A = this chain, B = another copy of it.
Amino acid sequence: MLTQNSDLQLVLDLAGVFIFALSGGLVAVSKRLDVVGVIVLAWVAGLGGGVIRDVLIGAVPPDGVTDWRVMSAACVAGVLTFFLHPRLAEISRFVRVLDAGGLSLFAVAGALKALAFAAPPIACVVVGVITAVGGGLMRDVIVGRIPEVLRRELYAVPALLGAVIVVAAAHWHHLTPLVLWLAVAVCFVVRMTAVMFDLNAPRPLRTGDHS
């Protein structure tokens, strides 16, 4: 059941890495980092979640340091970001959309890989969520931003939904490619709905005591 999804998992992984790496590169550009900084932050954002996932489920050395395909995807995304010079005004919004895509792909791919390593169902869900939010969290912490996952109401929740759909489908032996893409879509739509809503109603941040 899982074997037939291995190609699909590679596609999900590569697309998620590429998209998250773009978000990392754009954050680096917005901080005016140089080309190496852009590539390093692309690597962290694109591969960080998967590396944490692999360490947690005992799949070491992690794909993020052994698989030239995902590493190339992250580097290409970093270089692309550096040379495409997007207009700065557009960056903030575009990062959010990319982030939502990476979140959805990684929640599903992370849960899928944990299932393949025979982790308990609840661990597969949590590992899926950590895969999805880990890279973006490290990206933001490294450059000193409050992480997206803490700032926006519906960031971890759509990832949780996506991972739960995958683990439930595996439990009932319906882990088809269609179900996997459905899980990706549900996560993405919920997240983008939240992004749209939040853009109109930003909540005050960092107004409490800064002890």
A residues lining the B interface (CB < 8 Å)? 28-37, 40-41, 51, 55-58, 60-62, 65-66, 68, 71, 88, 91-92, 114, 119-120, 122-123, 126-127, 130, 137, 141-147, 149-157, 203-209, 211
Chain B residues within an 8 Å CB radius of A152: 34
Q: Would you list 29 pairs from A and B whose C-beta atoms are within 8 A, ordered by A residue?
A: A28-B150, A30-B208, A30-B209, A31-B206, A31-B208, A32-B207, A33-B150, A33-B151, A34-B152, A36-B153, A36-B154, A40-B150, A51-B56, A55-B60, A56-B61, A57-B61, A61-B114, A65-B130, A66-B126, A71-B126, A88-B208, A92-B209, A92-B211, A137-B142, A141-B141, A142-B147, A143-B146, A144-B144, A144-B146
A129 to chain B, nearest CB (A): 9
A155 to chain B, nearest CB (A): 7
Q: Whole-angstrom distance between the alpha carbons of A120 and B37 in the complex?
A: 26
Closest B residue to A147 by beta carbon equals B142
Chain B residues within an 8 Å CB radius of A120: 61, 66
* Known contacts A35-B153, A56-B55, A153-B34; is-contact A119 B211 (Cβ 8 Å): no
Q: Is A60 within 8 A of B57, CB to CB?
A: yes
Chain B residues within an 8 Å CB radius of A206: 31-32
Chain B residues within an 8 Å CB radius of A153: 34-36
**A interface, by DSSP: helix, strand, loop or mixed?**
helix
Q: Enumerate the 8 nearest inter-chain pairs by beta-carbon distance, A residue then B residue, closest first.
A: A37-B150, A58-B60, A65-B126, A66-B123, A32-B208, A30-B208, A65-B123, A34-B153
Chain B residues within an 8 Å CB radius of A130: 65
A201 to chain B, nearest CB (A): 12
Q: Is A65 within 8 A of B56, CB to CB?
A: yes
Q: Whole-angstrom distance between the alpha carbons of A206 and B30 in the complex?
A: 9
Chain B residues within an 8 Å CB radius of A40: 149-150, 156
Chain B residues within an 8 Å CB radius of A143: 146, 150
A70 to chain B, nearest CB (A): 11
